[in-house]
Structure 1
Amino acid sequence: MKRHGQSLITVALAAALAAFAALVDNDYYLRIVFMACVYYLCAAGVNVLVGYAGQKSLGQAGLFAAGAYTAALLTSRWQIDPWLALAAAPVVAGVFGVLIALPSLRVKGPYLAMVTLAFGIVVEKIVTEWVDLFGGPSGLFGIMPLTWGGNAFTNQQWVWFALVLCVVTQLLLRNVLDGRFGRALLSVQADEIASSSVGVRVYRAKVIAFVVAAVTCGIAGALVAQQNQYINSDFITFNLSIFILLLVLFGGAGSKAGPAVGAIALTIIDALLARWPSVQHFFYGALLLFALYFMPGGVMGLFSPRARRAADAQPQESGEPAPPAAQRPPVAAQEDLLLVVENLCKAYGGVKPAQDISFCLRRGHVHALIGPNGAGKSTLINMLSGVVIPDAGVIRFRGTDIAGERSHAICALGIGRSFQNLRLFGDLSVLDNVLLGRHSRMKNGFWASLLGLPGARAEERRAREDAYRLVRLVGLAHLAGTPAGSLPYGLQRRVELARALATEPTLLLLDEPAAGLNPQETAELGELLLRVGTSCGITLLMVEHHMDLVMAISDHVIVLDYGIKIAEGKPAQVQADKRVIEAYLGTGMA
């Protein structure tokens, strides 16, 4: 119902503006509506890049120029049909989006903004100085406009066509952002390491965001060039990049309605201040500072909380109970090796948290990895999950060497994990956190999601039902729509466990899952882990300091001390080992 309501509002607003254009003959007013549509197209794409993926860009003027000059050159120099030129503009801009993304994504924060800013400045200089191709400051004349029935578009038809493009853009982006890829972009913005650990291809997600922003800016640039039938470097100054970013921040970055609010409001303000350029630029700077410091959620943030909730209604319970706590299968039936580690090494200068570590994990067992602080336990878990690349050694999972593979690839193979320090996506709901764990298991691709095909909608529905079952399994069904970051610490641990289970792991790595829990919560966690291991057939490797938990649920214990494996075996054997006692208690106590 929420999706249909958004669609109706979008169509109703566009219809109202179309009716206004039909009733008004004043070209100035029609121009304002047309430019509001152009700015919306720019802001809608940049909202994906800035509001969802969290990548700050100041080079959108260059991408606007790519679309504008593509349409201009194809029609004025080579007499290509203007409709084909319009179709080519977003393609060329998308290619530039990839080119700017590749070097930009090697840096973060203000450095990313500087790289994109440099791109915009370089494009402006090229079109200004390359007179033979781009016409220099004089620009390009004779650009062919769009036609209908052999006649050039009137101002009213330009408004109507731009409104159609805006509606289509809004609906297509909604399809993407409400589903698998929208969640992936939000996870990248929140925590790239955690995002990769649940199967999101972080680099690819960022490139997609850059391309979406480039395509919409390219379309907007082509519309301006063809409507004006003229383009020059004055259209693509640095001020345009700032203005597009301001549209997003003022309307509300990360809000689907934010770009439309920002475009309408600032286009009207821009028209009112057009006769005073100096005041206009000062006002934009002041408004940008105001939006950043006093209204970080933008206009839309004043009407809705920043925290992102689950869809309006939680999935209907099918009446199926949570998976039962079945009896653990006999150990003799589970003797095949799942993970083999041989001579694994890692050093940070003189510090060596892993020195020729070798061990095996067997299917269906609960394994514990223990040792004093600084023994190298978390480093080992990070190497197994791809967060840290080992210096030497072999990690063979189900017969495949995965040493040095990326986290998302290891997750796809069947290794899930939790973190010592919680890495939840705090602004997302409990259900959306668990849904992100389903990312690598979902089959709907970007184009199917963009077009809202039935298969993509069905895949999203199944993933939501699976995620909700896991939320029920960890006892958080009543909190499914609550932002994960607002939960008590013990419940956040359960959310992270459910998110890891959603990746459908064969091997689950738990880095101190009982850290920060009280004795009762620790006992409940132990029961939950046993239930997960037995009912879901998952092998567990748990880093833990709570010895009562380790001894209660573990089949096999591995002990590290200063990066060296000093013992392994059954819990009782390890507990009585002299080297383990010395490592934990010292020789005097032994």
Structure 2
Amino acid sequence: MKGELKHYSWLIVITVLVACVPLATSNDFHLRVLFLIGVNYIAASGLNVLVNYTGQKSLGHAGLFAVGAYAVALLTARWGWNPWAAFAMAGVLAGLFGVVIALPALRVKGPALAMVTIGFGIVVEKIVSEWQDVFAGQQGIYGVIPLGIGGQMFGTRHWVWFVLALCVLLHVMFRYLLDGRFGRAFLAVNTAEVAAESVGVSVYRFKVLAFVISAFTCGIAGALIAQQNQYINSDFINFNLSIFFLLIVLFGGNSVYGPLLGAVVLTLLDSLLSRWPDVQHFTYGALLLFALYAMPNGLAGFVRRLARRFAPGLMPQEVLPQDLPPWQPRSLAGQASPAGGEALLDGRGLYKAYGGVVPTNEVDIRIRPGHVHSLIGPNGAGKTTLLNILSGIVVPERGTIRFDGRDIVGVSTNRIARMGLGRTFQNLRLFSDMSVLDNVKVGLHAHIDAGFFSSLLGVGKARRAELAARDEALQILDRLHLRDKAQEIAGNLPYGLQRRLELARALATHPRLLLLDEPAAGLNPQETQELIQVIARIRDIGITVLLIEHHMDLVMAVSDHVIVLDYGQKIAEGTPAEVQNNPRVIAAYLGSEDEEDDGVNDGGDGDDQQHQGAAGGQHV
């Protein structure tokens, strides 16, 4: 609460100071620079969501700027629309074009994505240059009707005040959005897409949403330029504009304040160097390199480090509530358990091949509710592939899977997670730059009742949902004895605690069935014993567990039922005692001393790499 008050106090002070500038000077150049800072901030504020939060690089947003500018020009100058209605429609049309770009563009990644967006920008530039009858090329469209109030058109001062009001509004809205459910989801998509899907975040939808947000703000920025100038032509739309917007975002840094810092610094620099275009372009390149290598977190990250070191009072930590009641999973409340003998998960004839390698070969698996099932086998047996199939990451070539009575073959990973199937990963997939508390909140994503528009406003229902999510995340951390680490950065935790945090995040999805892929990998003996107790507590609160593990002491201590795979086939299953004495298991997995000398842990296929040989613990 204190942090909120400080933020809004500073915001009011800065807003009042900027609003006083037009009263203190009538210099049109200075007011124009102030106006451009605001316009560039508006364009960059949405692009920040796409680039810094979601991790999608775009070099075609000049095209979306053009959509907004030409939309408002055509609607007012040629078709007689009210300028306010045209201004709003410009943002909507740009948002729709954002969807048009996103749907094909997001099927590719990395440099290919940047190339697709460059292509869009070039196409738009060519259209407005060459289609003279509509867009008038370099001659441009005159008579664009500016905004006004009471029949009085905005003057230079009014434009500064109007853009200032828009900037404040967008800043507050983006701050609420990015500090909440949607901001965490954007960052999760950026950090680890598979992990985001596994906790119920639709990666594709959030990428499209980020494109739409960035397109909308770029369209609004284009409309402002066209209406303030009362004129637009093709010279406004070029590749350098896309580079400039991207540079503002990268130089500003990954923060809600980043676009503001970038817009202020680079707009002022652009104005100073406008007489020397060659020096201007060289400076942009130098600043981009500086931002990427010397300040990887941008100017906002640099300022944040300075504040933490020299003025920690400016960034107080949130005061967390104490004495919360014990956590209970919602997935088990009010839901009927499968009838006696019926499986919670039933997989039949599951088959998946990668060329000549068949990690899953006609496997049947039945998971009974309320039990701990263990899936064991030597490296390369196909255990992780089977877990990936059950959780929707890999689609089997044939076979059926019914979870809680519903067919889930071909269903997206995020939808399966929302049904109540949670998981951890063999190789840690934490959101390492987020706090421990926020990692668990991402796990709660599907259970936070806050829509997009209510999250933008940050009050009422969205605010209550955020506070409830914070309290529940703390309850889960308390269950796993991580409460004291809640405000630390996840990537800074010791490895054993990171393993436990991933388990906490999986529990936050409220699973009915929890898949654990080698949760003891890399743990020391004490941490392994603690994990045994944690799994037992998870079972005791009613969550069914399917566990992959090489530590046989752990398997035999917690398992009600053991399934054994070898070369992608199920060779045995039963109680731990039955599996212990099964000759096929002894030969294929546990082995004799001669077999161990030959090395049972001989690498395995790609999905079972980095298994730890359970030296000293592999004998039963």
Contact 2:324/2:471 (CA < 8 Å) preserved in 1?
Answer: no
Structure 1 residues 133 and 203: alpha-carbon distance in aligned structure 2, compared to 1, 3 A threshold: same
Equivalent positions of 1:37-436 (< 5 A) are 37-252=38-253, 254-305=254-305, 312-321=317-326, 335-436=341-442
Alignment of 1:26-41 (within 5 A): 26-41=27-42
CA deviation profile, 1:71-128 (whole Å, cap 9, x unmatched): 0000111111111110100000000100111111011111111111111111011000
Q: Aligned-pair distance for 1:157? A: 0.3
Report if the CA contact (8 A) 1:429-1:482 is conserved. yes
Of the candidates 580, 585, 589, which is equivalent to residue 584 of structure 1?
Answer: 589
Q: What is the deviation of 1:3?
A: 2.9
| One-letter amino acid of the counterpart of residue 545, structure 2 | L
What's the TM-score, normalizing by structure 2? 0.91
CA deviation map 1:404-434 (0-9, x unaligned): 2111000000000000000001111111111
Aligned mates of 1:85, 1:280 — CA distance in 2: 34
Where 1:342 maps in the other structure, the secondary structure is strand
Q: Alignment partner for residue 575 of structure 1, among 580, 598, 602?
A: 580
Distance 2:526 2:268 in 1: 60
Query: Is the 1:370–1:377 Cα contact (8 Å) retained in structure 2?
Result: yes
* 1: CA distance, partners of 2:338 / 2:59: 61
User: What is the Cα deviation at residue 14 of structure 1?
Assistant: 2.1
1:468 Cα shift? 0.6
What SS does the aligned partner of 1:122 have?
helix
CA contact (8 A) 2:338 2:369 kept: no
* Deviation of the 1:201 alpha carbon: 0.5
1:493 is matched with 499
Say whether the 8 Å CA contact 1:334–1:363 is kept in structure 2. no
TM superposition shift of 1:4: 3.3
For residues 574 and 276 of structure 1, do their structure 2 counterparts lie closer, same or farther at Cα, with a shift above 3 Å needed?
same
Give the match for residue 568 of structure 2: 563
Distance 1:539 1:503 in 2: 14
Q: Report deviation, 1:333.
A: 9.7
Q: What percent identity do the matched residue pairs reach? A: 58
Asked if 2 retains the 8 angstrom alpha-carbon contact of 1:11 and 1:167, the reply is no
Equivalents in 2 of 1:241, 1:145: separation in Å?
25
SS class of match (1:345): strand
- In 2, the alpha carbon distance for the partners of 1:557 and 1:81 equals 71
Q: Secondary structure at the match of 2:88?
A: helix
Contact 1:334–1:362 (Cα < 8 Å) also in 2:
no
Worse overlay, 275-284 or 345-354: 275-284
CA distance in 2, matches of 1:154, 1:333: 73
Secondary structure of the residue that 1:337 maps to in structure 2? coil
CA contact (8 A) 1:100 1:116 kept: yes
The 3-state SS of whatever aligns with 1:393 is: strand
Looking at structure 2, the residues matched to 240 and 465 of structure 1 have their Cα atoms a distance apart, in angstroms, of 44
CA displacement at 1:184 relative to structure 2 = 0.2
Task: Quote the residue 1:328 is aligned against.
Answer: none
**Structure 2 residue 445 is the aligned partner of structure 1 residue 444:** no
* Residues 1:9 and 2:10 are matched in the alignment: yes
- What secondary structure sits across from 1:302 in the alignment? helix
Q: Deviations over 1:57-81 (max 9, x none)?
A: 1111000000000000001111111
**C-alpha separation between the residues in 2 aligned to 1:378 and 1:489?**
21
Letter in 1 for 2:543: I
In structure 1, give the amino acid aligned to 2:53: Y
CA contact (8 A) 1:184 1:205 kept: yes
Normalising by structure 1, report the TM-score.
0.96
Counterpart Cα distance in 1 of 2:402 and 2:22: 66
Kept in 2: contact 1:347–1:354 (CA 8 A) = yes
Local SS of the residue matching 2:344: strand
Question: Residue 453 of structure 1: CA displacement?
Answer: 3.5
Partner SS state of residue 304, structure 1 = helix
Tell me if structure 2 keeps the 8 A contact 1:67–1:220. Answer: yes
> How many Å apart are 1:366 and its aligned residue?
0.6
Distance in structure 1 (CA, Å) of the matches to 2:36 and 2:569 = 66
CA drift at 1:48: 0.6
Matched, 1:546 2:547: no
CA positional deviation for 1:305: 4.6
Match of 2:603 in 1: none
**2-structure distance, mates of 1:398, 1:61:** 49
> Which deviates the most, 288-297 or 87-96?
288-297
Shift of 1:174: 1.0
Counterpart-to-counterpart distance in 2, 1:231 and 1:119:
20
Distance 1:124 1:312 in 2: 47
CA distance in 2, matches of 1:105, 1:319: 42
Residues 305 and 471 of structure 1: is their aligned pair in 2 closer, same or farther, counting only changes over 3 Å?
Answer: farther
- Offset at 1:585? 4.2
- Shift of the 147–319 alpha-carbon distance from structure 1 to 2, 3 Å rule, reads closer
**TM alignment of 1:470-549, pairs within 5 A:** 470-535=476-541, 537-549=542-554
Amino acid at match of 2:238: T
- Residue 311 to residue 459, structure 1, CA distance change in 2 (3 Å): farther
Per-residue CA deviation, residues 444-465 of structure 1 (Å, 9 max, x unaligned), is 1111111224011111111111
Q: Which runs of 5+ in 1 are unaligned?
A: 325-330
CA distance in 2, matches of 1:488, 1:220: 45
Q: What is the number of residues matched between the two proteins? A: 581
2-structure distance, mates of 1:287, 1:545: 50
